[in-house]
A and B are shown apart, each in its own frame.
Chain A
Amino acid sequence: MSSRDESSERKQQVLAEIITRARAGQSAAWGEMYEEYAPALYRFCRHTLRNHEDAEDATAEIFLKLRQKLDQYDAERPFSPWLYRLAANHCYDLLRRRNRQGPAVDDFDTLPAKETDPNQLDRLVLEQRSDRVRQGLEGLGERARMALMLRYYCELSYDDIAEALQVPRAYVGVVLLRARQQLREELEKGSGA
């Protein structure tokens, strides 16, 4: 077993122990969990909700939900995806409340007919810096942004993304691809192309 695997296993054991103590109601365990996950969750909320104050509130509310729902967590399964699903559901609800009609819903069946030119895509990607991409992400629709967050930040599986976004599993790829294409359009707009 490699040292990386060992360290990951050790981390899992520590986390399992923290969860057990948190379930038993130990405040210190909640503190450790908060320390471990709050910054990452905040970042998730910050990107999804696009607002510092809302993200702060949402992070705290997600922890409140976590306290209520931790008993429902199946310890046999990885914790992070479960937590991010909880966070995604919470942010999704917030966005739905913010826009009365709910986050914009894509039409899954159609993808832009435009064929991607690999050279152009490569050039576009190589030209970009993080701040430009972040700006581009701000211009995306809510679900597109959340899909990208769940895949490339939370590293969730397609199954988890389908559950979090409430879309059929078969459409997750389409949602992700559509989000990336929208992002490219934003980036092209930004670079005046």
Chain B
Amino acid sequence: MSHYDELSCLLFLDGQMESEPALELAAHVEQCQRCHRLLTALEREARLLSSTLTDVVEHPAPLTETPRLHPAFPLGTWIAVFCLTAIGGFAFWAWVAAPWLQMIAGAGWNLRELFGGALFESVFISSWNVWGEALRTFASGALLAVAFPLIWRRYRLAPARRGWGVAALALVALLAPRPAMAAELHKGELYDLPAGQTLNNDLYVWAQTAIVDGAVKGDVVAFAQSLTINGTVDGDVIAFAQTLRINGTVTGSLRLFTQGTSINGTVQHGVTAFTNHIQIGRDGHVARGLTVSTAQLGVEGTVGGDILGLIADTAITGKVQGTTLIRGASLSVAPGAVLTGPVYFHGKKQPEIAAGTALAGVHYFAPPPYVSRWTTRHFYIVLMLEWGAAFLVGLGLLLLLPGTVNRVIGEAESAMALLSGLITLAAVPVLAVLAGATIIGLGVGVIGLGFYVLAIYLAQVYAGLWIGTRLLGKRLRSPRAWWAPLALGLLLVQIATHLPYLGGLLAFLVVLWGLGAQASALWHSVRRATVVAA
């Protein structure tokens, strides 16, 4: 007697057989003990599977304890939370933060200046208010852009209410204080401020060729192929240009991002330049210091302060009244040049100082002979210390936040981690600066940057853990068993990121990868929280 195979019996049990063959099988089973036993065993196996799979395994806390999606809190709750937060914030400021800041200020540090003023007021641009307003407006806009869809989704406003919502937003937009745009804007192929004309405002110009023959009583910000200032600028000049010529007078500072710059006029403050070549002509006069990163610097005129720079080739024939500190390939000082301050030159070639030059002193620093780090004992000690520190941090993470570690490692599986790492690496500092544009946001920005730096450090720990778990066993069950993968993975990361030539690139990739995994894990947690709380 022939028997039915297992597949036929399974299809019969699952009701997947046509009626005729099903009847035949049923008839056969009544007479065939073997097929009957097979059918019974298969049915029993199916029941065992069903009961096993429907057995409770474990309930995640959020599902058992807070399964209900609460409707939105009533308005009163939000107001109470806001008031309590405000009171708490004020108390924190009055009793903790302010005395602390005062103590720091007493020790000679001014935090506001450190984080805000120094960045924008004294170093970059004097008309800080315009930039501050612009940043604040941008930050508010960005917040609104993020908040609006969230609010929209959360409340899913009924059509009738939507109208009111849009009207309210429009009203807020109308009533919101606008930044006073104290500036003159020009866009076109050619911009020319004729001689004899005075512009009593800041000047923002986008042009192929921009010429200022007249006077500007304010800052000049220019994006131009060629910018020439023959007149007077009573403020700073910030230029993004291919060629910049200063033949007139700038009473403030020069901040330059240019291909080539020549200064034949007067700059009454300092010059900061990222440029290919910069020439201070015979009639050129920079009253204060010159801070540059350039391929070529020529000084025929006068620099009233220090010269600090990364400069490939420097030629000085004029006067430098401060210290000259240059790191580069060559430095030549021609006869007749006057360097009142000392000269410090770091480079491969000895500086060429012509006889008859008035010099306060020349200090030459030759680069130390190349010694591979891998041949020094110091390198291995540092490597082990770094490894040990990262290992301890990793162990701490595993003990304190095993769930988070697991999530981050899970995210590291995806190649998308690299992309999100790149985005996070670039976006967080920008967002922190934007947040810092408001006084309230300053703290948020600084704290955000703190977490950012921490996350960059932790990137190696997560990358090491991932590599270790891959090598010693995928997805170990207990985080306690992770110390060995952590140790091995971190060691490999340390070695890889210190390799000659490739090390830098690998370190960058490790940062992108680890940072991206953390960002993705955070993003998914937030999304999860949104679903549970929405």
Please report A residues at the B interface, Cβ cutoff 8 Å: 25, 27-28, 30-32, 34-35, 38-39, 42-43, 46-47, 50-57, 59-61, 63-64, 67, 97-98, 100, 111, 115-116, 118-119, 121-122, 125-126, 128, 130, 133-134, 137, 148-149, 151-153, 158, 173-174, 176-177, 180, 183
**A interface footprint on B24-64 (CB within 8 Å = 1, 0 otherwise):** 00000000001101101110111011111111111110111
| Chain A hits for B55, CB < 8 A | 130, 134
| Chain A hits for B41, CB < 8 A | 118, 121-122, 125
Best-buried of A31, A50, A152 by chain B (most CB within 10 Å): A152
Q: Give the number of chain B interface residues (Cβ < 8 Å).
A: 55
| Interface pair B48/A128, CB less than 8 Å apart | yes
| Interface pair B475/A51, CB less than 8 Å apart | yes
| Interface pair B407/A28, CB less than 8 Å apart | no
Which one, B205-213, B265-273, B347-355, B524-532, is touching chain A? Answer: B524-532
28 A-B residue pairings within 8 Å (CB atoms): A28-B71, A31-B67, A34-B68, A35-B68, A39-B64, A42-B59, A43-B56, A46-B57, A47-B57, A51-B406, A51-B410, A52-B60, A53-B407, A54-B410, A61-B524, A61-B527, A61-B531, A121-B38, A122-B41, A134-B55, A152-B49, A153-B50, A153-B53, A173-B7, A173-B16, A174-B7, A177-B7, A177-B10
Which DSSP category, helix, strand, loop or mixed, fits chain B's interface?
A: helix
**Please, which residue of chain A has its CB at the minimum distance from the CB of B49?**
A152
Distance between B103 CB and nearest chain A CB, rounded to angstroms: 43
Bound Cα distance from A57 to B413, whole angstroms? 15
| Chain A hits for B49, CB < 8 A | 133, 148, 152, 180, 183
Which DSSP category, helix, strand, loop or mixed, fits chain A's interface?
A: helix
| Interface pair A30/B69, CB less than 8 Å apart | yes
Distance between A144 CB and nearest chain B CB, rounded to angstroms: 12
| B430 touches A (CB below 8 Å) | no
**A interface footprint on B291-312 (CB within 8 Å = 1, 0 otherwise):** 0000000000000000000000
Tell me how many residue pairs across A and B have CB atoms closer than 8 Å. Answer: 143
| Interface pair B62/A56, CB less than 8 Å apart | yes
Bound Cα distance from A118 to B33, whole angstroms? 10
Distance between A28 CB and nearest chain B CB, rounded to angstroms: 6
**Partner pick for B40 among A122, A151, A183, CB 8 A cutoff:** A122
Distance between A122 CB and nearest chain B CB, rounded to angstroms: 4
Known A-B contacts A35-B68, A60-B527; A152 and B156 likewise in contact (beta carbons under 8 Å)? no
**Partner pick for B72 among A27, A52, A149, A180, CB 8 A cutoff:** A27
| Interface pair B414/A180, CB less than 8 Å apart | no
Bound Cα distance from A169 to B325, whole angstroms? 78
Known A-B contacts A27-B72, A53-B403, A149-B53; A119 and B534 likewise in contact (beta carbons under 8 Å)? no
Bound Cα distance from A116 to B51, whole angstroms? 23
